[in-house]
Structure 1
């Protein structure tokens, strides 16, 4: 136990004024204007700009209309602005939410007790409690304890360095007494005194220390590949359309007569103008074809869902995590706090019964029931052999036991360390040595010297290992008694019985020997004190969540440090074990199995008991070799290799900072329900992007087809350059906003995970794209060529304005088709209010353009009857697609 007073409130205020805050200045991020300028550096924008200059020069010379250049420029600027605003706003939102949710909390000694404060509130002179897994919050020196520190974040060295108390030179990274911000405590426990804060720390001086590398997830790889293929299509189509345009201008418009064609070519002003129009048209076709809205779509979807995920206690650290979660098909999950509540309670203490009682063990339900001497030894053992700090005088009950893990806190509450009136005399002992618990050792120990000079080592760990090393026990009178082999056998049976009922047992013992590095190194004559019984009830929604994950095609394997019997009891209650074919392995059993044999067992594996961190890494490696997309949870220092190796690392909110750093997603409440939410949102994002792609490619197919066929139908430009740019804005930027807010539907969790090599465009998507794309083309061609349709409109100008409206309305109505796979177009429509806003806005803007667009958009005012026919011809895509779904889709029965 540490006896550190710490700074007073006034001293904290004085230090903050004198030395500044512990906040590190943020690295300058790309500004709005930087992003806008970058968007204008896009090759297609550059080509458009060159073409724009040509058109402007021709307009100045009187060979082109003035508004064509202005209209193109306005459309390009508007598209770039919408993309930039959306991208910038959503990136800012994402970063802000991430920073707020991932802020580190620190245990600091102040006013003679330990408080939990934000890392930003630390000041020079503060005394900080450092424990395994902590990220050191400032630069300073050790004043008590001993730790092993990984300084890889600053030096790149993989080997941890031992740090001991002493006068430190914080300018020297090699100093054995100095510790530095951003480095990680791997082992040991200590108290540091802060000497440098904020930008004055080594980390504060290194901008690189604040940057994180982001791996591209499988979804982004698929999208990048898709974008390249679509762009290739655009690059092929664009010159063909330019050639067709010039073929019409040179050959068709001149009736194929050589003299007329020669005269046309001789009129070089007209020829250059038409070549410029052909060039611009080709570039606009590329703009329409290339899905430049995809990156913005991802940014918008992730930013919007980031806030929703935070409400579900999921913090996305790496976008890779949420992108990949839709493909997850194997989840290795911790038990404590994830499947169980994590609210550990010590419900009793098992002591060895005296021979004459006729039973192996006797259970005490409170510390007060134990014999006086045994109660005293238990009190000393639990209070001194712990990584927690006890503040008996703290006013807040939550701050009376600080630090440590949930097991230690539960044990301390059993000996009433959390009550303000506790009478324990901390200064009765002097700590000589200490060995903290970690998942590799499976035990912890402390060596104490009493006032009379006697030294004793108190051990705490796995019950079977403690019992195996015990040769005596404390009887009901507090006297040492020999522990016979027959008694040991009966105790083992009692331990197994308690474990099978779901209790977790912790063995406690004493010895006069020094602290061993391993329990294997100690002689078999420990003095057994007994076994603490800890209960951690199953979360109420764990069984339902695991069933949901199973329905989603995700195999769930529980990994735990508990005994096999305890793990099996929890696994049965949680629904992980439901048949005789389900397999439970212990770490020891797994060690004796080859990788090839383990691959055969893995599909039926449900529980790994007494699991070591190295087992986690091995399981991840083997599962990935089998082609699985693997998720791994972890909370300890030694879990970081497995978290990093997994396709998705789920760090637990109650865990160490090093585990969180190694993870892609942090589950703030440790709950498996939150992991399921991450999977659900990952699948939702994947589906939202699929909807966007379906809509976008449908518009691309129809727009390119109509533009290509136009000259052969006698129309120079069925859709003008400016109209095509407006269509591009509809299908890219605005469509991204429309589909980004799609809700997570229950049916998404009934689908199988996406395979690594699965194409993002499915056969049903291609069916929708081609059917609706060519239906739109057919409607538009019929509209342009049928004399009966042309007769519905008073003038040619009204007719072409109506055609423009029909094409835009067709695309906008098709959003309703794309949004759902079933026949009910109103299904969950209210859950995506942004969709209705965007669709309504496009309809409204199209009407406004019709009346004020004039020569720029080639529009004139339409009457009520004209609008009636526009709606009639365009809304037809809805019954057409419903018929397609009914005839071909697996959702034909959906209503």
Structure 2
């Protein structure tokens, strides 16, 4: 590297892009270009930034920088236009056949009667166009939801340094020249250079395709093969450091790759989508048979009449085409395209509303599967507790303090502790625009910084980035964090972590005179007793230690300090312990009880001590109050004991050694242990994964909460992963749902919304099956008896619009109720979508509707004193009233049955309960009735509708409303039968007991 003074120049986005080209990185040209820019100092000058203070935070500087280097806003693909969706919808074969047949009908009608013969064909084409437009609009909205979901999925916050002050900003606001702190689990969203850090092990497989972990190092003088390049899309496996941002947005490697994508990546179908698709196919087959039968019957009647009259003219051809059109229309109506649409709408609506409940759904399946969950593995910190860490007591320099002020502690001792805390943390405290302080970073570290703040000691004075040489982030296995500073010619090592873990590594203890003395076994026993007492008070216990040494004693060179963490931690001096309180969330106990009452088992997995874990578990009712201390060992275990009792976790690989899956070592033992186990303390990531694998093997549907990178395997392997908003990017990437408030109450809401999706689909299926059954039977009955369908093709298409698009929208937007939590989860048993109560509702409503329509079809003219609608050569206002009333009554019965279908259980008597909680439903009902009356009044010959008097409208609405009375009668009969059956069973039980 050149030692000459860097020249004044501006590095362009194009130059930076070449430096991060994959080929250039591999062949060393990137490093050469980096050196030509005079290394870190030269690159910082070229980017108008500082390697310690970062860029200026002035709005003008940020605006100019964004204009020249671009921004990091997520790439959004250009949306497909509504016209393209309309064109795609017209590719449906059934619709194409219907369009061709309608055109033929139009031509024949014009030839036969130029004045009005074109009306039916034109009306069918118009109806098809409306159906296509509605379908296209739904697809357009759906694509918009996917695009929005893809964009929001990538939103997270990062810690940057600007004007020498750390601050947390959204990743989309990162600019070239920023300094970003990176840690394990971080997924790079920009390209950059590592300027501080050590031991960075990076996974670039998502970018390069190579599974080998890459080692990243800071470039030093004379280096010729060092790789400091951090590529967007890669993720840190181990180590931490500071990155100088060189390329953002469209100029980054990830941005260039995303810009080449031509379409939005849609998710694979969820299990429920697959089942609904299969149901739609089966119903479609029935519709095909019914449509074909209807067409054949009508054509047979037509042919018989033509043979008898020995003529076949234009009217016969028109009749033939009309018969085919009607058969195709029956098929269009029978195909329940509304089923998948209803599910999509239900999930899209749920996702939108869940966001308001602080639940962000990353994957559609998360919304559905959460309702089936039978087990929830919950973290303690931040989920059941408030994650508002506060130091409430401490023991420093052999003295116990009952509060964080530690008034009797000498100032020199406080400075030593403040130095150790400030240099061995990455959290920081910032001041918001409203003057309030905001804590950013790990909440445990924030609690330590707040403690030193109460001592009126500014942590910024101790945290000197230039002096930091090494740092090992907290790891759930080692349970400690260590940082190494170079001070003058000496070295300071700072360590903090789990109480007994750090204590066991210490050889000395600090005295109040800032000296050190041998840490005797007796003194260690006293400290262990203090740690135990803190834990019994539900406090998280951290030990703090340090060591003053030099590079030679560590066996390293100051110019290239390559040394292990263990070597740095030899001969540690114990400073003391702190007890950190994290209060239980006020709503945690109620939420846990509600989830348990919903049939979901809640288990707590935590890294805290057994004493703390058990106390918190009792407070939030994960452990019942009546479990005695003698029984507790069956309900709460430490991770090591749990692992040993169930045989640990085994990996299953193929012949080439590639990982296929995981297995529990002793599944029989696991089943026995899992029956009672509710708490795992001192839980490692492997223990959490082991619990997930075992429960899933038992057939349970498992949900897991997590916030750390070490939780990623469990989140990924679970049926439904719930990451915390405060969690690492890797945890969020591995999850299906992100809890924006890190609250267990949001888990409860997720269960409720998940069950609501399933309930909404059942409501729609209940409604659609009734409409399909009645429409198909009446069309076939009409063809067989009166030689024509009582409903015309246009009317059938309007019915299709009602029962598919509008009904799907109405029933899919029903809000969840607490009643959803009174049932047990459907789990993994793939129970039928149609329940016995639903069968009773569908059959009873179908019987009523078919009976009414039969009476109107055959006896209507006599009852209402009007002309018969069938057997006429031409349609007139007078003879058209018969089938108009038939059509009007049919639609009104569907409208009121839609209200009935809001209730799935026959035990629910109040059909209007919560009716006005969903204004979308109310609006669609009102619109359908109003539009139906307009069609009837003004449809005329085009729609084969005669204008009805107000009296006839009232009669049709009353017959439709009678569906609700039928529903109540059916509920009453079923309840009486069930009560009688239960009484007989009770009497039989009493007889057996006697």
Paired residues, number: 870
CA distance in 2, matches of 1:397, 1:482: 46
Superposition pairs for residues 367-446 of structure 1, below 5 Å? 367-389=406-428, 402=440, 404-416=441-453, 424-426=461-463, 430-446=467-483
Determine the C-alpha separation between the residues in 2 that align with 1:484 and 1:654: 40
What RMSD over aligned residues (CA atoms) do the two structures have, in Å? 2.9
1:4 corresponds to: 52
Provide the rounded CA distance (Å) in 2 between the counterparts of 1:875 and 1:388.
Answer: 64
How far is 1:47 from its partner? 1.9
Q: CA contact under 8 A between 2:482 and 2:565: conserved in structure 1? A: no
Distance 1:517 1:642, change over 3 A: farther
Equivalent pair of 1:97/1:307 in contact (CA under 8 Å): no
> Is contact 2:112-2:315 (8 Å) kept?
no
Say if 2:945 is the partner of 1:859: yes
Shift of residue 444, structure 1, vs aligned partner? 0.9
Query: Pick from 884, 909, 916: which aligns with 1:801?
Result: 884
Structure 1 residues 278-293: aligned runs within 5 Å = 278-293=323-338
Describe the shift of the 1:778–1:467 C-alpha distance in structure 2 as closer, same or farther (beyond 3 A).
same
Q: Does 1:782 align with 2:821?
A: no
Cα displacement (A) at 1:212: 4.7
Q: For residue 856 of structure 1, report the CA deviation from its aligned partner.
A: 1.7
Residues 577-592 of structure 1: pairs in structure 2 closer than 5 A: 577-578=623-624, 579-580=626-627, 583-592=635-644
Q: Per the alignment, in what secondary structure is the counterpart of residue 608 of structure 2? A: coil
Helix, strand or coil at the partner of 2:471: strand
Pairwise CA distance, 1:90:
4.9
Structure 1 residues 534-543 or 601-610, which shifts more?
A: 601-610
User: Match of 2:604?
Assistant: 558
Tell which deviates more after alignment, 235-244 or 508-517: 508-517
Q: Distance in 2 between matches of 1:434 and 1:890?
A: 73
Q: 1:241 to 1:384 in 2, by over 3 A?
A: same
The Cα shift of 1:533 comes to 0.8
The residue correspondences of 1:322-361 to structure 2 (distance < 5 A) are 322-351=367-396, 353=398
Aligned equivalent of 1:149:
202
The match for 2:405 among 366, 384, 394 is 366
State which of 567, 573, 587 in structure 1 corresponds to 2:613.
567
Deviations 1:137-169 (A, max 9, x none): 32121222233222233123334322222399x
Cα distance, 1:600 vs. partner?
Answer: 2.1
8 A contact 2:535–2:611 mirrored in 1? yes
Question: Using the alignment, how far apart are the partners of 1:712 and 1:748 within structure 2?
Answer: 45
User: How much does 1:297 deviate?
Assistant: 1.8
Matched, 1:184 2:205: no
Q: Cα–Cα, structure 1 residues 3 and 131, in superposed 2: closer, same or farther, change >3 Å?
A: same
Report how far residue 801 of structure 1 moved: 1.3
Among candidates 118, 143, 146, match of residue 170 of structure 2:
118
Pairing 1:831–2:907 present: no
With 23-32 and 541-550 compared, the bigger mean Cα shift is at: 23-32
Aligned to 2:246: 195
Secondary structure of the residue that 1:28 maps to in structure 2? coil
1:175-197 CA-to-partner distances (Å, cap 9, x unmatched) read 71111223223332222222222
**Are 2:887 and 1:817 aligned?**
no
CA 1:395–1:799 in structure 2 vs 1: closer, same or farther (change >3 Å)? closer
Structure 1 residues 418 and 154: CA distance shift in structure 2, 3 A: farther
Contact 1:141 1:167 in 2 (8 A): no
TM-score (norm. length: structure 2): 0.82
Correspondence for 2:68 among 4, 12, 18: 18
Preserved CA contact (<8 Å) 1:465 1:519: no
Query: Using the alignment, how far apart are the partners of 2:759 and 2:449 within structure 1?
Result: 49
Asked whether the equivalents of residues 167 and 177 of structure 1 are also in contact (C-alpha less than 8 Å), the reply is no
1:548 to 569, 594, 615: 594
1:429 Cα deviation after fit:
9.1
CA distance, structure 1, for counterparts of residue 947 and residue 220 of structure 2: 84
> Which residue is 1:358 aligned to?
none
Partner of residue 870, structure 1? 956
Who is 1:660 aligned against?
A: 732
Residue equivalent to 2:493 = 457
2-structure distance, mates of 1:212, 1:651? 22
Indicate conservation of the 8 Å contact 2:405/2:455, yes or no. Answer: no
Specify every segment of 5 or more residues in structure 1 that has no aligned partner in the other structure, as ranges: 255-259, 355-360
What's the secondary structure of 1:876's corresponding residue?
helix
Distance, in Å, in 1 between the alignment partners of 2:184 and 2:671 is 33
Contact 2:413–2:514 (8 Å) recurs in 1: yes
Relative to 1, partners in 2 of residues 1:428 and 1:54: Cα closer, same or farther, differing over 3 Å? closer
Is residue 27 of structure 1 aligned with residue 63 of structure 2?
no
Flag structure 2 segments of 5+ consecutive residues without an equivalent.
1-49, 555-561, 648-663, 868-877, 980-994
User: Aligned partners of 2:284 and 2:220: how far apart in 1?
Assistant: 63
CA distance in 2, matches of 1:797, 1:395: 73
Q: Give the TM-score, by structure 1 length.
A: 0.91
Superposition map of 1:101-180 within 5 A = 103-146=155-198, 147-166=200-219, 176-180=227-231
Please give the alpha-carbon distance, in whole angstroms, between the structure 2 residues aligned to 1:697 and 1:105.
48
Distance 1:196 1:432, change over 3 A: closer
Q: 1:496 aligns with which of 518, 532, 540?
A: 532
The structural deviation recorded for 1:301 is 2.2
CA gap 1:243/1:647 in 2 versus in 1, 3 angstroms: same
Q: Per-residue displacement from partner, 1:261-292 (whole Å, max 9, x unpaired)?
A: 3545x516455433322322221111111111
- How far apart are 1:202 and its partner, in Å? 1.0
Equivalent-residue separation in structure 2 for 1:659 and 1:302 (angstroms) = 23
1:653/1:449 CA distance change after superposition, 3 Å: same
Summarize deviations over 1:82-121 as a string: whole Å, max 9, x none. 2222332354256437635752322222122122223333
Please say if residues 418 and 457 of structure 2, whose CA atoms lie closer than 8 Å, have aligned partners that are also in contact.
Answer: no
User: What is the aligned partner in structure 1 of residue 984 from structure 2?
Assistant: none
Taking the aligned partners of 1:738 and 1:167, their CA distance within structure 2 comes to 65
SS of alignment partner, residue 126 of structure 2: helix
Cα deviation per residue 1:515-565 (whole Å; 9 max; x = unaligned)? 986769966x54322111110000000000000100111111111111111
Determine the C-alpha separation between the residues in 1 that align with 2:123 and 2:432: 70
Residues 129 and 718 of structure 1: is their aligned pair in 2 closer, same or farther, counting only changes over 3 Å? same
Q: In the alignment, what sits opposite 2:96?
A: 46
Q: Aligned with 2:806: secondary structure? A: helix
Shift of residue 618 of structure 1?
Answer: 1.8
Note if contact 1:629-1:647 (Cα within 8 Å) is conserved in structure 2. yes
In 2, Cα distance between equivalents of 1:620 and 1:123: 40
Give CA-to-partner distance per residue, 1:336-390, whole Å, 9 cap, x none.
1110001111122123648xxxxxx665642443244432332121111112356
Partner of 2:144: 92
What is the DSSP-based 3-state SS (H/G/I as helix, E as strand, rest coil) of the residue aligned with 2:453?
coil
Q: 1:433 to 1:261 in 2, by over 3 A?
A: same
Structure 1 position 738, deviation (Å): 1.3
Please tell me whether residue 747 in structure 1 is matched to residue 819 in structure 2: yes
- Which residue is 1:885 aligned to? 971
CA distance in 1 between counterparts of 2:428 and 2:895 reads 63
1:274 corresponds to? 319
Task: Determine helix, strand or coil for the equivalent of 2:72.
Answer: coil
* Stretch moving more, 9-18 or 442-451: 9-18
Q: Distance in 2 between matches of 1:107 and 1:362?
A: 33
Question: Which residue matches 1:257?
Answer: none
* Cα deviation code 1:50-97 (max 9, x no counterpart): 222332332243289311111111111111212222332354256437
Residues 428, 224 of structure 1: CA spacing in aligned structure 2 closer, same or farther, 3 A cutoff?
Answer: closer
Sort the Cα spacing of 1:248 and 1:770 in 2 relative to 1 into closer, same or farther, 3 A: farther
Displacement of 1:321? 0.3
Instruction: Work out whether residues 351 and 363 of structure 1, in 8 Å CA contact, stay in contact via their aligned partners in 2.
Output: no
- SS, match of residue 74 in structure 1: helix
2-structure distance, mates of 1:362, 1:17: 54
Deviation, structure 1 residue 126 = 2.1
Determine whether 1:58 maps to 2:108.
yes
CA shift for structure 1 position 396: 7.7
Q: 1:39 to 1:420 in 2, by over 3 A?
A: farther
